[in-house]
Structure 1
């Protein structure tokens, strides 16, 4: 139920988070542009190029006073990892064929008063041909904003962009997201896929 109190984090999760935040400070990332983040939103983490991205987004959201959450396979939340995964912001998702993970996460947004869900829309650090659309369906279904965030590991900078409320027109909204990323990282090779995808979706919508 909304408003239900959250148990205090365990000692293990507090120590682990402190370690990750220490790594964030040690690496020396700088937030160069931060817009307000709604209490309920889907935060896009892009481009995803290294495992250090997780540390950056944890540190960046902590610096902004945001408690980030992430989706995890249901099997990862089994004892003895249950408390730790929940403390770290994990949202258990059943990925079986019979389960619709988008509906599960939408229900989680309904249940909570606050939920800033970080999603890597590329889905992998490797080569991709398009962004996955799950983030969009979750945000649209839950009626929450999409917040584009970015990290440039070469320059050790990052930021959080303005909230974009999904209209239901995926092509138009993807173009708005692409326009933001192009404004901050126009030449990043991995984001070229997003820029091309936005153009293709626009052509399909106009046809």
Structure 2
């Protein structure tokens, strides 16, 4: 497999654990998101794992000569300038499909943020699917995958678990995480 060869042999990355192949639906949160390089690393990790995981991205990525590439990789454009109920739309997408896995960045941007966005949490809650956490650890050249996490009725506890998973993980630009 070409992706695995590039990911492990050429770039020197490793995949620690695998995405749950037996589950047909879940939300993946990948962090830290500090560089454009996160995307190709994520795609290579996904392909190495042999699982189809979709993603959403700002609509400008899907315009012009490269739009078809992002779509063929499983992407869907999102217009972030409009105030629409994206969470409800994605929950409906989960409910309409027999198999759907969606990767999101909890930061929502490559810039430094004080707190994570919560859309991924409400998508998982609304679609009644678990969350799988994935690191983009440039310090160790490792993508670490968690076991599925089933949300509780305690949002603070859930977020404490999420944050603890990413302790000591180094993004491409550590100062942004």
After TM superposition, the score normalised by the length of structure 1 is 0.70
Find the partner of 1:173 among 133, 137, 158. Answer: 158
Alignment partner of 1:118 out of 69, 84, 103: 103
Whole-Å Cα distance in 1 between the matches of residues 40 and 70 of structure 2? 16
Q: Distance in 1 between matches of 2:69 and 2:169?
A: 38
Aligned to 1:105: 90
> In 2, Cα distance between the equivalents of 1:150 and 1:143?
23
Rounded Cα–Cα distance in structure 1 between residues aligned with 2:4 and 2:142? 16
Which residue number corresponds to residue 148 of structure 1? 133
Equivalence map 1:75-90=2 (5 Å): 84-90=69-75
- Structure-2 separation of matches of 1:79 and 1:70: 19
TM-score when normalising by structure 2: 0.80
Distance 2:38 2:60 in 1: 23
2:15 maps to 1:31: yes
- Which sections of structure 1, spanning at least 5 residues, go unmatched? 1-17, 194-207
Q: Calculate the aligned-residue CA RMSD, in Å.
A: 3.1
Question: Residue 30 and residue 187 in structure 1: after superposition, are their counterparts in 2 closer, same or farther (change >3 A)?
Answer: closer
Residues 95, 101 of structure 1: 8 Å contact kept: no
Count of aligned pairs between the two proteins:
173
